[in-house]
Amino acid sequence: MKKKLNGLYYPTKDFQKQANLNNKKIYKEAQKDPVVFWNELAKKEIFWQEPFTETFSVTSPSTSSGPEIKWFSGGKLNLCENVLDKNVEKNPNKIALIWEPENPDEQTKKYTYEELLSEVNKFANALKNLGVKKGDTVGIYLPIIPEIVIAMLACTRIGAVHLVVFSAFSPEALKIRLQTIKTKYLITADGYFRRGKIINLKQNADLGIEGTDVEKVIVVKRAGNDILWNNTRDFWFNELTNNESNICAPEKMNSEDLLFVLPESGTTGQFLPIMHTTAGYTLQAKITGKWVFDYKDSDVFWSTADPGWITGHTYSIYSPLLNGITTVLFEGAPDYPTPDRWAKIIEKNKITILYTAPTAIRMFKQYGAESFKNCDISSLRILGSVGEIIDEPTWLWYHKEIGKNKLPIVDTYWQTETGAIIITSLPGIGPNKPASAGLALPGVNMEIFDDNGRPCKNGVEGNLVMLSPYCPAIVRGIFACPPNERDAQEKYKNVYWNLYGKDIYVTSDRAIKDKHNIIKITGRADDVIKIAGRRITTSELESAVNNHLQISESAVIGVPDEIKGFIPLVFATYRGTKNKDEIIKEIELEIRKSMGPIATPKKIYLVNELPKTRSGKIMRTLLKKLYFNEKDLGDTSTLSNPETIEAIKKILE
Ligand code: WT7
């Protein structure tokens, strides 16, 4: 990109010329009537088994539930058919998937579109034979191996709803997810490699399914480690698929049939199993790839996210494959066995588009540009960022060292709830601004509202909202099995549709718009902290701390961290006599056990008492101010225990 005097970056002429979108007129066209705009795209981009009859509708069934949003009603389609059959028709021998194992000496695996279709069909037939029917839910607890793609696509082919559980999640986290969807089926692996060590995933799965409805467990052989085997319940993946036919007709799905569920956490630690439906998700996943990453037939796209997260769902798998290009999956950690591992993967596979998270970019920035110097990464033509704010120094480093001052950077803003990208300046149009996500995509109407629900003036921070008709992949609800559906509907309404009335979608992010309509995300409006791009609420962390038998109360704040963006800091009340260092170690263990090592706190402080208001609310903002040694502590007159200020200051010294 080229920097102009106004501090904004614009595409080079050459890039612009070849870009899929290179004329800003599209914004105006879309704005005239977003529904018509999406209607035309849906007709063009999706293979419909039966055409849809109504493009968009929204109704409010009751005062205690959120809106019922429908896109492309009346239509029938199958996501997997759009991904595989349609691309096999075009070019069966095109590479769909490249898989890089963690161990660089192990063989890379490649699947053409035809081979992938064949594998997916075999597994789809195997699932049917095990009893999986259209509408059933299936749990997927797999590491980054090709079978995770095969399993997800096989589910969508037969109309089963997948719920992918991140493989590093604990047995307890797996259990809650399986219980939520009451699934009878789980797909897992014997184990996987992480930094050269074997992780026994099957053992976690065995623990996680206790007390759930799971009756059948399908196990992919990956690491060859010893596992416990239950003859009536467990099945080897390859034994199931070996003799299956590679033909399986794609189910006819309604546009609004549930496609997948993916839980995230929201305000005050709420567990939110996000629901996505078939047509809207398919369209937005496909079109955003074309627009934002400028997909061309020759592209090799690498989204470094784990398929267990929404970025992995949409951009490691569905978006590139819907567009018939090659996608790359890498099993391992970014800097294993050496810090140049990513550069080597880019060089080896001639990757053209790299989509990653600021936390990884910051890590490489700390290693220094040397970690990329000895490899030829000149195949790259677009860089992407996602998941959290990319600060300006990191953006500039990414632009200079990886992008050679030339490549466009798309800073893409979206959420698990929006299913696909909604804000980013397009690489062939611009303008791009460091540390600002950019313009709302054509057809998406984003606003920034003040506390009274009025649009903020340019330059004034407020709450980021999305206005009707939202976006095709917008979250349709919070999943729950009977008898909990009412609660879930209420949650859906309260989390997303309550702050400004029932027709305004609330993102829970704070943002500012500049005079060019460029949106800069400034932080979360709720208690979510983004640790290495992962959504964790302070309340979830606090309950993990409070699991410790001797801790009755705690407060967690997020403080900036050079690599992870934010990192938790824990204040826990402890008045016992045990060795404090031991207690601190135990608390850390509790956190790692329930939230994973990623949430390991920067520091744990044991205090006598936490600062509270007279109504008993813990004052986390005050703790933050004390930690940063701010002079102005704000209004402390409502404190019921002002003496805690001095006590905590002492501990922090
Ligand atoms: C939250 C959603 C987006 C898919 C992966 C994360 C933050 C996301 C950006 C960005 C600043 C960002 C927001 C958002 N976020 N992208 N480009 N700039 N912040 O999905 O885990 O559901 O998290 O991530 O806070 O609400 P998620």
Decide: 413 in ligand 1 pocket, CB within 6 A: yes
Decide: 316 in ligand 1 pocket, CB within 6 A: no
Are 442 and 37 contacting, i.e. CB atoms less than 8 angstroms apart? yes
- Counting Cα atoms < 13 Å in the Cβ hemisphere of 261 gives 25
**Per-position DSSP letters for 40-74, written without gaps between them:** HHHHHHS--SB--SEEEEEE---TTS--EEEEEET
Closest to 292 (Cα-Cα) out of 426, 416, 398, 197: 426
Interval between CA 614 and ligand 1 midpoint (Å): 35
Q: What span, in angstroms and rounded, lies between the C-alpha atoms of 418 and 415?
A: 5
Interval between CA 10 and ligand 1 midpoint (Å): 24
Decide: 165 in ligand 1 pocket, CB within 6 A: no
Could you name the CATH architecture of 526-652? Answer: 2-Layer Sandwich (3.30)
Which run of H or E residues covers position 354? Answer: strand 353-356
Q: What is the per-residue pLDDT across 329-375, written as a single tens digit (0 to 9) for each?
A: 999 999 999 999 999 999 999 999 999 999 999 999 999 988 888 99
Interval between CA 173 and ligand 1 midpoint (Å): 21
Q: What span, in angstroms and rounded, lies between the C-alpha atoms of 340 and 357?
A: 17
Q: What span, in angstroms and rounded, lies between the C-alpha atoms of 210 and 170?
A: 13
Residue bearing the CA closest to ligand 1, atom 12: 388
- Residues 6+ away with beta carbon under 8 Å from 154: 80, 120, 121, 123, 124, 127, 160
CA 124 to chain centre: 25
Q: What is the pLDDT of residue 370?
A: 87
78 DSSP assignment:
-
Decide: 422 in ligand 1 pocket, CB within 6 A: no
Closest to 548 (Cα-Cα) out of 518, 520, 578, 568: 578
Where residue 635 falls among pLDDT bands split at 50, 70, 90? confident
Are 60 and 502 contacting, i.e. CB atoms less than 8 angstroms apart? yes
- Residues 6+ away with beta carbon under 8 Å from 242: none
Decide: 497 in ligand 1 pocket, CB within 6 A: no
Are 269 and 543 contacting, i.e. CB atoms less than 8 angstroms apart? yes
What percent helix, strand, coil does the chain show, rounded to 5?
35, 25, 40
Residue bearing the CA closest to ligand 1, atom 26: 415
Which run of H or E residues covers position 542? Answer: helix 538-546
**Residue percentage of the chain with pLDDT more than 70:** 100
pLDDT at 231 over 90: yes
Q: What is the per-residue pLDDT across 480-517, written as a single tens digit (0 to 9) for each?
A: 999 999 999 999 999 999 999 899 999 999 999 999 99
Q: What is the pLDDT of residue 634?
A: 87
The first and second tokens of residue 126, run together, are 């195997």
Q: Where does 267-385 have alpha helices with state H?
A: 278-292, 310-311, 319-322, 341-349, 358-367, 370-373
Q: What is the pLDDT of residue 458?
A: 97
Q: What is the pLDDT of residue 6?
A: 86
Q: What is the per-residue pLDDT across 368-403, written as a single tens digit (0 to 9) for each?
A: 988 888 999 999 999 999 999 999 999 999 999 999
The first and second tokens of residue 638, run together, are 């409502």
- Averaged pLDDT for residues 600-614: 94
- Averaged pLDDT for residues 250-272: 94
- Averaged pLDDT for residues 592-608: 94
Where residue 638 falls among pLDDT bands split at 50, 70, 90? confident
Give whole-number Cα distances, 559 to 530, 555, 621, in Å.
10, 13, 11
Interval between CA 207 and ligand 1 midpoint (Å): 31
Decide: 310 in ligand 1 pocket, CB within 6 A: yes
Q: What span, in angstroms and rounded, lies between the C-alpha atoms of 624 and 309?
A: 30
Decide: 526 in ligand 1 pocket, CB within 6 A: no
Interval between CA 533 and ligand 1 midpoint (Å): 7
Single pTM value for the model: 0.95
Q: Which residue is it, tokens 């991904």? A: 83
Q: What is the per-residue pLDDT across 561-593, written as a single tens digit (0 to 9) for each?
A: 999 999 999 999 999 999 999 999 999 999 998
Ligand 1, atom nearest to 305 Cα: 5
Ligand 1 pocket: which of 270, 315, 362, 388 to mutate (most atoms within 8 A of CB): 388
For the chain, the structural domain boundaries read 526-652
Interval between CA 417 and ligand 1 midpoint (Å): 10
Q: What is the per-residue pLDDT across 158-208, written as a single tens digit (0 to 9) for each?
A: 999 999 999 999 999 999 999 999 999 999 999 999 999 999 999 999 999
Q: What is the pLDDT of residue 320?
A: 98
Q: What is the per-residue pLDDT across 98-150, written as a single tens digit (0 to 9) for each?
A: 999 999 999 999 999 999 999 999 999 999 999 999 999 999 999 999 999 99
**Per-position DSSP letters for 355-399, written without gaps between them:** EE-HHHHHHHHHH-THHHHTS--TT--EEEEESS---HHHHHHII
Decide: 521 in ligand 1 pocket, CB within 6 A: yes
- Residues 6+ away with beta carbon under 8 Å from 321: 83, 84, 87, 96, 97, 327
- Residues 6+ away with beta carbon under 8 Å from 415: 310, 507
339 DSSP assignment:
T
Q: What is the pLDDT of residue 167?
A: 95
Where residue 78 falls among pLDDT bands split at 50, 70, 90? very high
Closest to 556 (Cα-Cα) out of 567, 579, 633: 567
Q: What is the per-residue pLDDT across 412-466, written as a single tens digit (0 to 9) for each?
A: 999 999 999 999 999 999 999 999 999 999 999 999 999 999 999 999 999 999 9
Which run of H or E residues covers position 86? Answer: helix 86-90
- Comparing 361 with 7, the larger pLDDT belongs to 361
Pairing state of beta strands 300-303 and 326-330?
parallel
Ligand 1 pocket: which of 521, 526, 528 to mutate (most atoms within 8 A of CB): 521
Decide: 509 in ligand 1 pocket, CB within 6 A: yes
Residue bearing the CA closest to ligand 1, atom 7: 388
Interval between CA 518 and ligand 1 midpoint (Å): 17
Are 557 and 547 contacting, i.e. CB atoms less than 8 angstroms apart? no
pLDDT at 240 over 90: yes
**Per-position DSSP letters for 173-239, written without gaps between them:** HHHHHHHHHT-SEEEEES-EEETTEEE-HHHHHHHHHTTS---EEEEE-SS-------TTTEEEHHH
Where residue 13 falls among pLDDT bands split at 50, 70, 90? very high
Q: What is the pLDDT of residue 524?
A: 93
Residue bearing the CA closest to ligand 1, atom 6: 387
Q: What is the pLDDT of residue 616?
A: 84
- Residues 6+ away with beta carbon under 8 Å from 105: none
504 DSSP assignment:
-
Decide: 308 in ligand 1 pocket, CB within 6 A: no
Decide: 306 in ligand 1 pocket, CB within 6 A: no
Q: What is the per-residue pLDDT across 20-75, written as a single tens digit (0 to 9) for each?
A: 999 999 999 999 999 999 999 999 999 999 999 999 999 988 888 999 999 999 99
Ligand 1, atom nearest to 424 Cα: 17
Residue bearing the CA closest to ligand 1, atom 24: 387
Q: What is the pLDDT of residue 273?
A: 97
Q: What span, in angstroms and rounded, lies between the C-alpha atoms of 110 and 440?
A: 36
Residue bearing the CA closest to ligand 1, atom 21: 535
